[in-house]
Structure 1
Amino acid sequence: MKYQAALKYSIPRGTDDILPAEAEKWQWIEEMARKTCHLYGYQEIRTPLFEHTELFQRGVGEATDIVEKEMYTFQDRGERLLSLRPEGTAGVVRSFVEKKVFAEPQPTKWYYIGPMFRYENPQAGRRRQFHQFGVEVFGSADPALDAEVIALGIHYFEALGLTRVRVEINSVGDPETRARYRKKLIDYFEPYKEQLAREARDRLYKNPLRILDSKDPKTKEIARNAPSILDSLSVAAEQHFGQVRKYLDVLEVPYVVNDRLVRGLDYYTHTAFEYVVDIPGAQAGSIGGGGRYDRLIGEFGGPDLPGFGFGIGMERVLLALEEQNVEIPVQKRLDCYLITLGEAAKAAGMKWLEALRRAGVKADRDYMNRKMKAQFKQADRNGARFVAILGDDELKQGKINVKHQESGKQETIDLDQFISYIKENCRRG
């Protein structure tokens, strides 16, 4: 077939088409996420792909890279400023407050799976449209819940067959801790002010904690000897962090304390953590992370209730699975391929094909008018376990021929027994 396209279109940079063979892998890792969450009592929530921009400015933090440089923001026809969601927590908290779920018995355990959007430099495992699996739990400040949520993520990775995933954990403290640590950081960085990257200088007095998250090589080198937040923890923050580590030990979750871990969001308090695995080409090997956010619900107009959660990048999960050569179970096989010979058989074949599908049998037929030999080849390409041949003569006799592809055995059976015969043999495997 010859054709000339009037226009050539290409996919926007930083996005991907997920073709059918890959989509089955996505469906599997998403289904494993749902199964794991259900074991822990979490229910699914689905929030809009875009929200009012102010939600992310207030929730994520105006001094973060996400809000300053990475959000897709636009004005709609009503001149409202909206943004595609760059992360999942803010929208979920907004829903919790707006729908007054806080009035119900707590805790509330939710999870979500869906696309997020950030204007980033595309690289392995990082796209401008990416997909995230996250959990959020509201209503309890119990350190045991921190440990449970972290363990849920590890359980998920193990269910996928992913190995060598470690947890890096830190405490970013409470307001008392942050005030004390903020002063220490300013005192430390001020002598190096002119050597810091521009964005780090801009953050020095607004949010010096963000400097520890800088990607600039010179700034990272300077930050290497900055004071540790663990030396500034209040009594309450130190107790909380100690309890979290105790419960992680009880759950036998392997972790290391990383006192430079601050995450890229401003809403965290107390526990902050990341899941880290070695993925060549992916930045820092992080495939997810999260933490506690005890003031965010109040910031959004709700009661003073605590929260805890994580987000896991699904592209990075697939990359890690590929790197570790984990075989993803993809259902490629067809149960039955139907070949018809003659116009009457073709019409009747449509009826029987539909009957197979209604009976739960994966079935297909030829729509390209191929010869019989070519149709057998197509059945092989589809991994068909059985090939059924129905001709006009067989139709008159109320018969159909069925070939077992694996053994080569061929049988002629009554048409009225066809569906039950295929179902029974599929069940036997």
Structure 2
Amino acid sequence: MNEVNKLNDKQIIGCIRIDREPVAADQIIQMENNGTDGVLLIDDSMPVDEEKLIKLIKSVSEKSDIPLLVKRHYQRLEDVKKILYAGDTRVVMDVVLAADFHLMVEASERFGKDKILAWIPESQPVTDALASAVQQNGASACVVENRDTELFTTYHLPVLPVRNMTDAKEITAVLKPDGVRGIISEKFYTDPMDLMSLKYELGSMGIATNRFESQIPFSEFKLNSDGLIPVVTQEYKTGKVLMVAYMNEEAFNETIRSGRMTYWSRSRQELWKKGDTSGHYQYVKSLDIDCDKDTILAKVVQIGAACHTGNESCFFTNLISRSYDTTNPMTIFDEVMATIIHRKENPKEGSYTNYLFDKGIDKILKKVGEEATEIVIAAKNPDSDELKYEICDFLYHMMVLMAERGVTWKEITKELAGRH
């Protein structure tokens, strides 16, 4: 199963005015689970609590893949840089003063035009001069608050209108023009709704949206004697197997439509949407089928415990085992980092890690520098074991530095992934 996400798909984007009420990262992440394609965060407070805003963005990015648009008062290129480096973000900039356009050009040249959007507030007159200036000064699109968007599309500027509506017919009317790339609505946050259902309703009206669609029809699956297909469900990031259940065609179609795992209960002989009773929903990331087309592998975001016993996984009872190395090279950095962070938050007497944190950033930096030098020296030694030991020492001290400065492995690996 693939997520339909073509160039011409219209985006359904939530909006949260974080300057008006406290917002937790989990509230934003829940919007992603409900089907939003992104979230616009608006912070017009003066002055902006930059540390709080960046902490929120980082917290969302650590737990989620949802793109964030961030509208705030940007005065310096450094303001833009901090937001873009905090997570999967794009900046939405005011375009009122000449200085705003100068900063937009500078930011576009430094970080790429695709990272920069222009904010057109309801109070700002929409003129040819404004549309032309936005087009020429580095914005990839316009976020237009409760104003007509036709003029911007005339200048071939993609538009994201801000409209507080949830009715499918009204949204369809807004989304139909070719230059309109999506809709932003605060009501997607204040009035929580099933956005996956909205997307399918929009699809019935001819509006293409970012939604799930199976590449193979259920009729081609090989079912068991009860007309069911087994589903192995695993956590999408860790790969941990959570449970095994079954689907019939109705359950399969509902899973795709809603984006939440839905099974067929063999004992109750009815549809079973995981989480309806417990709140422990499973939000779909992907569905794959095996080579024989007789088993589905589901990768999900698991809320709470998967097992009715309260265990994370239904597979918690060991039958047989033999001693073996459980080290997973794919997760060891995260595991060591988790230990370092735990030690930082829960100091232990005599701990070398706590000694470094107590001494502060200068001591940590000194150790990182020393270990880097030791790597250079060890690399001259024909025996690679010494180099191995020094690299481990360096990586440990580097992770202490990361923990001290609030940098995560997810941020590092994401940055690396974007470079190749």
TM category (shorter chain) comes to under 0.3
The one of the two structures with greater contact order (alpha-carbon pairs below 8 A, sep at least 6) is 1
| TM-score (normalised: structure 2) | 0.20
